[in-house]
Amino acid sequence: MKYSIFLSLLFTLVFTQTFAQPKIIDKVVAQVGDNIVLYSEIEGQKQSMKQNGVVTEEINDCQILEQMLYNFLLVNQAELDSIQISDEQVDAEMENRLRMIEGQMKNVKDDKGNPITIESFYGKTKLQIKEEFRTTIKKRLQGQEVERGITSAIDVSPLDVENFYNTIPKDSLPYINSQLSFQQIAIFPKITKADKEIAFKQITDLRKQIVSGKTNFCSAASFYSEDPGSAKTCGRIEATRGAMVRPFEATAYSLKVGEISEVFETEFGYHFMQLVERKGDDYIVNHILIIPKFSLDSLDASSKRMDKCYKELKENKLTWEDAVKIYSNDVNTKENKGFITNPITGEIKWSVEQVNQVDPMMFQLTDGLELNEITSPILYYDFNERKEAIRIVRVAERTKPHVGNLTDDYNLFRMMALEEKRQKAIAAWTKSKISTAYIRIDDSFKDCDFENQWIPKAP
């Protein structure tokens, strides 16, 4: 069994209810310390796995229960160790998880074809959901802290990696598809003082129309706000302390319910908001964002600068590394020789599938390029910075599909060796703690072939 980072039932089971699912007669099937596992939770986890594409035959009640027992063994130890988790940590984690779920639920509909939201799914407001599951999130974070303590000091040496690699049968070595790494030189046109003044006037005039009653907030947000995440929902944002940038958060906490703020600036542009509700550290606001746009003159200056860079590279007057230092103003790649980090893995290598998932235009630009050949300058939208730039791209590496080996895939086998070592440490810790914790398992699971001895052997 592979032990994973501690899972919260709330967030693994958010889609487990179905509108045609018969009601389950619930009961407690296991207990670790003061924490119980319900039969409905196992059934819910099974439904969640099915909805995530796991084949029914591969779903095992005993394995699900053992994972839950391990999770609560972590929590039990956290309580014994008096591990403290701050309200700020709980709030931030809750906000991140809710955003993730909202993303997953975008295309989910009920049996009548109506969109399902978190609120409609639970029949509660987000604030009520947060309050109900605050304890669950706190336990999750406590469990993570215990698990981090078990594995944080574990590392592997090059010899460990080599020995691990040599234990893998040759016919079981992973097959590695083609991978690529990209570099770019990007120039973002400068936003001038005049550009910012235009945006400020636009949002100030918009605020005046709302305050005077000439237009309502919802319509204005829908038509004019440049925040894609909230514009379609009247500019509505639900957040908690620590989740938003400081000027935004400070403004939210300074308002009374129904009050409209003055225009304020963040790194994203100009905003104003109306406070809808505030309860403790949680708040709901409607807000509008206007992003300053660069002028045609600024774009033209950047284009000419990039053309010069391109010419010097083509004529070999500059090395790629020097060109990055001289011309690029992209903070995310400038100090790394222009290498673009894969946000999925955190590395500079990409599979073709990952490129198409994150930046489809990149593959179209570079598919026919030889190594170190560069593209012509092209305008693109940077999703990290939320603005347009001009870039030149080159393919730094393109590997052929191959059977994994230490020379080309050392980092992959290092991660595999490290994970194996961590799993062994977790298994040893689990074995040692089972004997000291209060554990009870229902007779309906007594015949499970657990990897750990959760049920004491008869004398």
- Residues 16 and 59: beta-carbon distance below 8 Å: no
End-to-end Cα spacing for the chain:
27
Question: What pLDDT, in 10s, does the model give residues 210-261?
Answer: 999 999 999 999 999 998 878 888 999 988 888 888 999 999 999 999 999 9
Q: Provide Rg for the chain, Cα atoms.
A: 27
Please give the CATH topology (third level) of the domain spanning 9-155+416-445. Answer: Triger factor/SurA peptide-binding fold (1.10.4030)
Question: What pLDDT, in 10s, does the model give residues 23-78?
Answer: 556 899 999 998 999 998 888 888 877 766 777 777 889 999 999 999 999 999 99
Question: What pLDDT, in 10s, does the model give residues 123-149?
Answer: 888 778 888 888 888 988 999 999 999
Start-end ranges of CATH 1.10.4030.10 in the chain? 9-155+416-445
Q: Which of 19, 38, 16, 35 is nearest to 27 (CA)?
A: 38
> Residue 251 contacts by C-beta under 8 Å, 6 or more apart in sequence?
261, 264, 271, 273
Start-end ranges of CATH 3.10.50.40 in the chain? 179-190+295-400, 193-290
Distance CA 391, CA 297 (A): 18
The CATH number corresponding to 179-190+295-400 among 3.30.460.90, 3.10.50.40, 3.20.20.450, 3.30.300.130 equals 3.10.50.40
pLDDT at 113: 77
Q: How confident is the model at residue 2 (pLDDT cuts 50, 70, 90)?
A: low
The percentage of the chain sitting over the pLDDT mark of 70, rounded to a whole number, equals 92
Question: Can you give the three-state secondary structure of 320-379, one letter per residue?
Answer: HHHHHHHHCCCCCCHHHCCECCCCCCCCCCEEHHHHHHHCHHHHHHHCCCCCCCECCCEE
CA angle 169, 172, 174 (to 5 degrees): 125
What is the chain's mean pLDDT, rounded? 87
Whole-model pTM: value is 0.61
Please give the CATH topology (third level) of the domain spanning 193-290. Answer: Chitinase A; domain 3 (3.10.50)
CB count, 10 Å around CB of 59? 14
- What are the tokens at 180? 């690529």
User: What proportions of the chain, in percent to the nearest 5, are helix, strand and coil?
Assistant: 45, 15, 35
Question: What pLDDT, in 10s, does the model give residues 193-207?
Answer: 999 999 999 999 999
